[in-house]
Structure 1
């Protein structure tokens, strides 16, 4: 085999936010085009993710993962410790992890860059949330219920949107959670949004969101549906290597878009992944 040839395994989720069967077919076709050679494909979640031993047997160099944040996180957790590299392609609605690695590039452009440039792979910092890795981010507390409403907006499911908004609204005024950072006074909030560090030596970016009345709660909900919590009002921001979240006996938490109910208190801290990720960011994108 040519020294520049790379053996590829593809993990695809055609049901992810902006993915499709046509896009999946394009990815698979590209992965079997010189200088790449497709060794196998897993259609997730219908099929089980490949074991590291199977990838080693097939002498795979790169696992291409096409899907949303949940698919990317599942592959990264499953293949922790595997010596190859993961290439995350944006196929979801948010695509936070791919943006960290490729900027805002379309998945076709990411493939072109990865195949035409010398391979550049790096470990990616993540947030350890009570033992669960979060590669894209964390939303904790009552405001996590608004995610269901936003997903229905994205999918155009307007009939079920009303039920989702009612559910989120009922959660919004339940008990606040608290954020503890070292010796600093606890911060009480309706929810916490945390993003992984930009580099292994960086800190978790933490936003505490709070509101006290009907109109402030309504504005937060509308901002979330339109822009996500990054654009919401009533936010105080900080950063830290670790923190602790406390509240009800079990806390509603969204980790990479997947819902969990974790026993409190919940510790969060920054760690570095035990697997490498292909990055195609340009120097200009890296400075943004």
Structure 2
């Protein structure tokens, strides 16, 4: 962006996100203050509702700073569609996939130095349209998304729930209903328990994850639990502007949109679309 941004901002944090803790709001606000930015209001999500364009405009705020995980960031940005201000996404979660798109591997202090020094630019990165929402960092489709519930149980130390969810995740991942990409000549006709759609500069990168033997399956499950999807065995299916995915049985498609569970009808045509609000970027996209 050209010149220095307006130093007044609102700060949104989620203490439950991976990189957060009780003092995160104070830490980020102090870091902003040290660089000449004033935090007009701090919103602790989900205890407090996320701001909408009308609330920000009425307060004269043109910058929202969010320090949270990809799920919270997705909800905030989808809710700010059409707003004339800009959002600064800081890496405050477990994977921080959108923050990596915007800032690569820079840490919070480096990002703030660049942004407050006028070295960032406003952009609207390519996203994936999934029914009523946009996936800004990544979209997972298929019965393998059930492993996310295992991960949540692990995070909450709910051992009984973790055991139950693990059994169900194994059952669904092994028996489907698998997801097929009939228009893609590289895709397996039998389908996949998990297909990953990653937005980027050239469109949607498509990867189909599978397990052919118990060792593959164990590796895949562990990769999904840790949200390290690219470590599992998979087929690279290319890059496209759109992809039609279907449940092999015609049932609705289970999805994870930036890590949050959702559902799409089957078949569904996933398309690329620019983000509906300006984001600040300090590095090249993937």
In structure 2, stretches of 5+ residues that fail to align are none
Q: 1:8 to 1:234 in 2, by over 3 A?
A: closer
Equivalent residue, structure 1, for 2:220: 220
Task: Say which SS state the counterpart of residue 274 (structure 1) adopts.
Answer: coil
Q: 1:33 to 1:234 in 2, by over 3 A?
A: closer
In the aligned structure 1, how far is the partner of 2:235 from the partner of 2:103? 28
Q: Does 1:193 align with 2:196?
A: yes
Shift of 1:182: 6.7
Q: What TM-score comes out, normalization by structure 2 length? A: 0.88
In structure 1, stretches of 5+ residues that fail to align are none
The C-alpha deviation readout for 1:205-257, integer Å capped at 9, x for no partner, is 11011234444322321343456220111433321110111113222111111
In the aligned structure 2, how far is the partner of 1:50 from the partner of 1:223? 34
In the aligned structure 2, how far is the partner of 1:256 from the partner of 1:130? 14
In the aligned structure 2, how far is the partner of 1:278 from the partner of 1:226? 28
Work out whether residues 121 and 278 of structure 1, in 8 Å CA contact, stay in contact via their aligned partners in 2: yes
Equivalent residue, structure 2, for 1:10: 11
Equivalent residue, structure 2, for 1:41: 42
Find 1:181's aligned residue among 177, 180, 183: 183
In the aligned structure 2, how far is the partner of 1:220 from the partner of 1:196? 22
Task: Say which SS state the counterpart of residue 276 (structure 2) adopts.
Answer: strand
Query: What count of residue pairs does the alignment treat as equivalent?
Result: 279
In the aligned structure 2, how far is the partner of 1:136 from the partner of 1:59? 29
In the aligned structure 2, how far is the partner of 1:287 from the partner of 1:45? 29
Aligned Cα root-mean-square deviation (Å): 2.4
Shift of 1:5: 4.5
In the aligned structure 1, how far is the partner of 2:28 from the partner of 2:164? 37
Q: 1:110 to 1:156 in 2, by over 3 A?
A: farther
Work out whether residues 181 and 240 of structure 1, in 8 Å CA contact, stay in contact via their aligned partners in 2: no
